[in-house]
Chains A and B, each alone.
Chain A
Amino acid sequence: MAKALVFIDNPGATLKKSSLELLTIARSLGEAVVAFNGELHDDVAAALGAQGASALYRPSATDLDDYLVAPKAAYLAAAVAASGARTVLLENTADGKEIAARLGVKLNAGVITDVVGVDADGTAHKSVLAGSYTTTAKARTAVAVLTVKPNSVDVEAPAAASTPEAVTIDIPADATANAARVTGRAEKPASGRPELTEARIVVAGGRGVDGDFGPLEELADALGGALGASRAATDAGWIGHDYQVGQTGKTVSPQLYISAGISGAIQQKAGMQTSKVIVAINKDAESPIFEIADFGIIGDLFKVVPQATEEIKKRKG
C-alpha cells in the first residue's frame, strides 16, 4: 500500500487537531507514517499509534529549530527516502509551505499549497484568485508534496491502531551549511481564543472600531470565536498584525464571519469571502462589504455589537 508521510513539527503535549486532520488524509491515501521534529511525549507517541501510524521517524539532530526551514527539508527528504512515501503532507503555515518548497526541489516533486481536500487518487482541491475559482491540481511526479489548510477534513478514527516502528533518520552533514540561523525567539502571549485560521467563528473589526476592539472581543468570546482585523486596523496599531485577515494576512473560511466597521475592499474580501455565512455591520450603506453579506446591518457597531453580545449571553444562559 502506498505510504503517506505526515510531518509534525514540535508535536507538543497533545496532538493538535490539524495533525489529526493530516493523519486522516494520510490514511485515506494508504498507509500513514509520521516524521516529527522536537520532543515526543509518551502520550503523543501513543496517540500516533492509535491513529494508525505504522512508522515514526525522528531526526538524529535536536537542533533543527535553531535554523530556518532548510534542515527540516533535508530531514524530510531523507525520511521520504527511508519510508518510500509517495505523498508528503504538511500544515499550510509559512514554515510548512517553505519546507514543502525546498523538499519539492530536493525530491524533484510537485508541490501544491493551500489544499482544502485530497481525493484517494491524490488529486488536490484548492481555492485560488481570492476564492473566485476552485481548482483541482495534481503532482506529475513520483512523490507529491501537499500543504493542507486546517478544517479541510473531518477527523476520523482509524479502523485499527498500530504499534509504530521507531526509526531515527540521519540528518545529512551539509543540511545546516547554508541555512539561516534563528538567533532569538520571543514567544507571543496566547489569547486563549481559537486560532484564527482554524476557528469556526471569526469576529473581525476594521477602521470603524476606532481603536477599541473591546466590544468585538466580548462578542467573539460570547460566540467562542477568534478575533480578526482588517489591514486598516492593524496598520493603525490597534491590534497586532497576526490578526490581519486579507490578501497579505490570513485567509479564513469559517462557518461564520462577522465583519464590523470594515468597508470590504478587495484585499479584505480576498481573505474571507469563502466564509460560509457573512454578517456585516457598517455605518456606511455604500460599503462594498454589503455586496457579499448574507446579513447586513447599517448601523453603529458600538450599539449593535454589545446588544448582540448581551442577547447571546441571555440565550446561552
Chain B
Amino acid sequence: MKIVVLVKHVPDAQFDRHLTGPGNTTDRDESILSELDEYALEAALQLSEARGGAKAGNEVIALSMGPAGAVNAVKKSLQIGASSGAHLSDDALAGSDAAATSLALAAAIRYLGADSPVDLVLTGMASTDGETSLVPAQLAERLGLPQVTFASSLEVNGERVVARRDGDAHADTVEATLPALVSVTDQINEPRYPNFKGILAAKKKKITALTLADIGVDAAHVGAAGSLTAVETAEARPPRTAGTIITDEGDAGIKLVEFLAAQKLL
C-alpha cells in the first residue's frame, strides 16, 4: 500500500503567534510538526504495519509544502516512522490560500504517484494555524478521489475503506473504495513518539525536494498572486487581563451570582 501523509510545519501554539508582512501571513519562526497531522501519520503507520510494513513493500510518504524550515516537519515524520519524505518548496508558493495550497499539493501527489499509484492520501482534520479544514476536501475534489473526512475510526479491508464520522446530531458510517482521501480527527488513535532507533534510521531516509517546475504548476496559480482570497487587514486582539480573583471562604457561590447579576447575565 502506498500512502501519502500531508504534514504541515506550523507555529508552535505554546508561544505567541503572529501575522506579519503586507499579506498578513503567518510568522513561521518557532514552528513544529502540526499536532493534528501526527494522528494522520499514526493512522498511516498502523495501516502499513498491518500489511507487513516497508519490508512488504508498503510506503508511507510524508509530504510537506512550505518554506525551507518546513523540511523539519518531514524529518520529524521520518523519525516517527514514515518511509520517505517529499518537501515542496518554492518562493512563488508564499501566501497561498487553501485553493492555491490544494492546487499545488494535488500536483505534488500526482507527481508522487507517477511511478506507482498512490492508494491513500491521509491528512489531519485541520492545520493548527489556518484551521480552515478546507484543504482535504479541496484535494479530494481536485484529485477526483472519494472524500472520507473527519474520520474518528478507519479500517481498510482490501479496496474497501470504512470510517466513522461524528457529527453533532448523528454519527455516520462512511464507505469508499481505494484510492481515497481520508482526514482523521484526534479521536482516532494515540500517536507514537519517535524513539532513538527511529531518529537514527531517519537519517538514512530519502527526502525528495520538489519545486513548482518539478510538479508542473504555473507560479501564477499559487502564492499570494494565485490565491482566490486575500487577508486585507489583521489586528492583534488586546490580550485578556485577569479580573477579580477571590478565594472561597464559604460564600463564593453567592459572590459569583452577585457578579453575574451585576454583569446582567442572569
Contacts and interface: CB of A to CB of B under 8 A. Distances in A.
A97 interface: yes
Interface stretch (B112-120, B144-152, B202-210): B144-152
Contact of A100 (B36, B134, B147, B253): B134
B258 to A, nearest CB: 8
Nearest to A296: B245
Contacts of B189: none
Contacts, number: 267
A299 B245 CA distance: 11
A182 B172 contact: yes
A180 B232 contact: no
Nearest to B179: A178
Interface in A279-302: 279, 281, 285, 290-300
B257 A311 contact: yes
A112 B229 contact: yes
Contacts of A296: 242-246
Interface string A70-100: 1001000000000000000000011101101
Interface in B3-20: 13-14, 16-19
Given A101-B138, A132-B236, A290-B245, A179 B171 contact: no
Interface residues of A, number: 92
A180 B180 contact: yes
Nearest to A258: B256
A135 B17 contact: no
Contacts of A184: 172-173
A137 B231 contact: yes
Interface string A252-288: 0001100000000011001001100111010001000
B185 to A, nearest CB: 7
B193 interface: no
Nearest to A255: B265
A5 interface: no
Contacts of A127: 237
Interface stretch (A154-162, A185-193, A204-212): A185-193
A170 interface: no
Contacts of B132: 97, 111, 113-114
Nearest to A312: B257
Contacts of A141: 228
Contacts of B150: 94
Contacts of B16: 132
Q: Which one of A128, A182, A273, A306 has the greatest number of beta carbons of chain B within 10 Å?
A: A128
Interface SS of A by simple majority: mixed
A279 B266 CA distance: 14
B235 A110 contact: no
Given A111-B228, A181-B175, A315-B266, A98 B237 contact: no
B228 A110 contact: yes
A107 to B, nearest CB: 10
B228 A104 contact: yes
Interface string A124-144: 000111111111111111000
B10 to A, nearest CB: 10
Given A132-B16, A291-B242, A311-B253, A181 B174 contact: yes
Nearest to B167: A94
Contacts of B242: 290-293, 296
B187 A308 contact: no
Given A98-B149, A248-B125, A292-B240, A138 B230 contact: yes
Q: Which one of A108, A178, A188 has the greatest number of beta carbons of chain B within 10 Å?
A: A178
Contact of B19 (A135, A256, A316): A135
B134 A101 contact: yes
B11 to A, nearest CB: 8
Nearest to B226: A140
Given A68-B172, A180-B175, A281-B256, 4 more contacts: A68-B149, A101-B137, A136-B231, A137-B230
Nearest 9 pairs of A and B residues by beta carbon? A307-B253, A299-B248, A184-B173, A110-B228, A101-B137, A110-B229, A294-B243, A308-B253, A296-B245
